[in-house]
Chains A and B, each alone.
Chain A
Amino acid sequence: MSEMWVNMGPQHPMTHGLWNLRVRIDGEMIVEVDPEMGYLHRGIEKISEDRHYNEVITLMDRTCYVAGMAWEHLYVMGAEKALGIVPPERAEWIRMLSEEFQRLASHIMWYAAFVQDLGLMSPFLYGMRDRDLILDLFQSYTGGRLTYEYMRVGGVRNDLPEGFPAQARQVLDWLEPRLVEYDRLCMGSEIFRRRCDGLGVLKANDCVRLGVTGPMLRSAGSKRDIRKDRPYSRYSQVEFDVATADSSDVTGRYLVRMEEMRQSIRILRQALDWLEHHPGPVLADRLPRWLGAPYAPMGREGYLLKRNYPKGVGLSAIEEPHGEACAYVVNEGGEHPYRVKFRSPVFANLSACSHYLVGYHIADIPPIMGSVDVCVGEVDR
């Protein structure tokens, strides 16, 4: 069989979303790859220019549909810096709690999809079952299971309900032994190790050169984690370790994510302890009224410009479940952000894909792309 191009996508089980990986194969070996993106491009950055600051939060949930909280957090932090608003202490802790729960849910979702790609059927459903518990928790305080619209510029929408810490601890107690079980199902299987060891290798210096971040970078031994290096929210006040591995292959990424889940549980327990003993407001006082809706009848441009809107730019960066995410919010005065630029970690991780796919088998594409944890919503935005 001579070389041929195979379109893996846009509708293909490997893609976990909507994108097209064009692969040139020689027999079963990958010779060249050419990803085609844009099938899920919704122009979130453009739509944001026409929206009030709080209205953009709705779009953030849709940016990465399995990590909505993390993106909400990223955006509200950027917008607060651009507007000069400081959220109250309790809101910061609730945001950190939400983000860690989201990381846990996202990693469990990743685990489920990843093992499914390898042909392991049962752990997929175990993962979905356990993620549901976290979604139930989200539902109990945000009302939503996937798109939360919970955070606000200047705080969060509402406080946690009565008895939430006890409920959350129950979920964490259930999850901890499950993580051991997940690990046994994968690392205990000889076939799993043979499918994953030495695949998709990307060394640390290549990762840095190519802008690859997150678990992929940490699996190569680097300890870069925005939560540690540039603490935001209240990450400086909780104890956790940065998970690393040194094999820089699929197994390494698997191990890093597994360890991150354990660390997330550790952070969550500390956050729950704090939240239990520190009641307080969750939304800043005296927020501008135009954050969520037009303050004055519009249509007269001059009238708007006469108002005393603050100006500024805000840069925020978080360690999203997939890697380093940044938001750059430019506020030029007015009720809408002038420009919002998001840095998606998967976008950068995916842009390097020819470096970790070429030279492997076509059967290695699902585990390798699975270990990248592609979320097309945030690649295309």
Chain B
Amino acid sequence: MALTTLWDVAYFLASGLLYVVSRIIPPLSGVLSNGDLVWGLSALVFGAILLAASMINTIMLIWFERKMLGRFMDRRGAMHVGYAGLLQNFADGLKLFRKNTFKPRDADGLGFYAGPTAYMVTSLLMFGVLPVSTGWSDGSLPLSMLLALVIFSFAPLFIFISAWSSNNKYSLIGGMRSAAQMIAYEVPILLAVVAVVVISGSFDLNTIVSEQRNYWYWGPLFLAMIVFATGMLAEMERIPFDLPEAEAELVEGWNTEYGGMLFAYFMLADYVRALAGSILVVLLFLGGWTLPAYFPAALTSLPLAGIVVLMVKTYLVFGVFVWIRAALPRVRTDQLLRIGWMRMIPLSLASIVFAVFFVLVKCIPVLGCVPSMGG
């Protein structure tokens, strides 16, 4: 049995576990050989692997950001726990986990607790949809990209719920800003994605990536990529678009009242979204797990090569986001919204027109565009 996909691995582990259990307790073998049970257990294992991988990656992403920001700021970043501070974030997480979670007296209990939890869960859902390499998920969802963007856009709702139920003026203003900002930037993001759809002819992320085997879309769709990445910056609420949690005026914005593990949920979910956003940029514009043709085929056919390639690209994209964070001040709300509605939307419309034009003439000799070779 070839373990080519993650599903295969999960199925193998689940059936192996059931087999061992049925050998130890023979009377159960009849129940345990039930196909539905095997399937269900494999699904659980699949989810567990996915969760573990995404959480570890998220925490590594935080470490990466801390180290990189440290270098930008002429200091060292985390360095004491583990080698080069690799375990620092686990230690921080442990600290937050041990903290007492408290609720302000006048806060609304349901929203206060449900908001961060739902925010965290929906953010993690992203990884069920995003393919990370050809061998990641078995079979593909025909509309996986739309699903990913829909899950991505859940966030303002939960942010607003938790901001509103914290019963704090800073949280309220932060939540308002957050909702306004995310809704404003949904539109250019979707329009930029339309350009990708026009050129690739598919809503399926797997297909979009495999369509990029000859040329990555960042050449023909450079404008769309800039719009998409900027929109992602706003969706992730990172500097220069981190006004909802602008600490200089709003303390911590919509998570002012949160502490302990609930704060950790927000913090982690922010980075989960950052990771997912960076992966989306890579999948849509930077060729996903493919490498340019001049890399030897032997390299790309190595096991896990696709995942490694994708993760390297993702960390590079995130590195650019960190760089922006280290170098730019934050904009003001009205400026942000003006950029969103009056600059980004025309630009994304222009990129759609450009994509249509590109499809019509099939290839325009621009950077990154090599003539298609029989693909």
Contact = CB atoms under 8 A, between A and B. Distances in A.
Q: Do chains A and B touch in the complex (CB under 8 A)?
A: yes
A136 B357 CA distance: 64
A20 to B, nearest CB: 13
A298 interface: no
Contacts of B170: 6
B169 A364 contact: no
Interface stretch (B274-282, B288-296, B323-331, B360-368): B323-331
Contacts of A4: 169
A273 to B, nearest CB: 31
B332 A364 contact: yes
A14 B251 CA distance: 8
A119 B329 contact: yes
B129 interface: no
Given A122-B72, A126-B74, A361-B334, A191 B248 contact: no
A6 B249 CA distance: 11
A264 to B, nearest CB: 23
B326 A122 contact: yes
Q: How large is the interface on A (under 10, 10 to 19, 20 to 34, 35 or more residues)?
A: 20 to 34
Contacts of A115: 329
A361 B333 contact: yes
Nearest to A4: B169
Given A119-B239, A365-B249, A6 B329 contact: no
Contact of B332 (A117, A121, A122, A363): A363
B58 to A, nearest CB: 21
Contacts, number: 83
Contact of B328 (A1, A13, A28, A189): A189
Interface string A141-172: 00000000000000000000000000000000
Given A13-B251, A122-B72, A362-B249, A195 B331 contact: yes
A121 B69 contact: yes
B246 A363 contact: yes
Contacts of A362: 173, 249
B301 interface: no
Interface string B233-252: 00000011011001111010
B22 to A, nearest CB: 57
A28 B326 contact: no
Contacts of A14: 248-249
Q: Output the residue of A124, A194, A363 with the most chain B CB within 10 A.
A: A363
Contacts of A124: 73
Contacts of A195: 329-332
A323 interface: no
Interface string B290-333: 00000000000000000000000000000000000111111111
Contacts of B243: 363
B329 A192 contact: yes
B327 A122 contact: yes
A12 interface: yes
B70 to A, nearest CB: 9
B328 A120 contact: yes
B330 A129 contact: no
Contacts of B331: 191, 194-195
A237 B70 CA distance: 44
Interface in A87-125: 115-122, 124-125
B98 interface: no
A189 B324 CA distance: 12
A366 interface: yes
A121 B334 contact: no
A115 B328 CA distance: 10
A125 B73 contact: yes
A116 B247 CA distance: 10
B320 to A, nearest CB: 15
Contacts of B173: 6, 28, 362
Given A6-B169, A14-B248, A121-B69, A191 B328 contact: yes
A116 B249 contact: no
A28 B251 contact: no
Contact of A118 (B75, B176, B248, B333): B248
A1 B249 contact: no
Interface in A335-366: 361-366
Contact of B248 (A116, A125, A129): A116
B332 A126 contact: no
A361 B331 CA distance: 12
B335 interface: yes
Given A13-B247, A116-B248, A121-B69, A363 B333 contact: yes
Q: Output the residue of B75, B249, B329 with the most chain A CB within 10 A.
A: B329
Contacts of A364: 332
A119 B173 CA distance: 18
Nearest to B247: A13
A185 B335 CA distance: 20
A119 B75 contact: no
B78 to A, nearest CB: 15
Nearest to B252: A13
Nearest to B243: A363
A195 B331 CA distance: 7
A189 B169 contact: no
B258 to A, nearest CB: 17
19 contacts: A6-B169, A13-B248, A14-B249, A119-B248, A120-B328, A121-B69, A121-B325, A122-B69, A122-B327, A125-B73, A189-B327, A191-B330, A191-B331, A194-B335, A361-B332, A361-B333, A363-B243, A363-B249, A364-B332
Given A121-B325, A122-B327, A191-B330, 14 more contacts: A1-B176, A13-B248, A118-B248, A119-B240, A119-B242, A119-B246, A121-B69, A191-B240, A194-B332, A195-B330, A361-B334, A363-B243, A365-B249, A366-B246
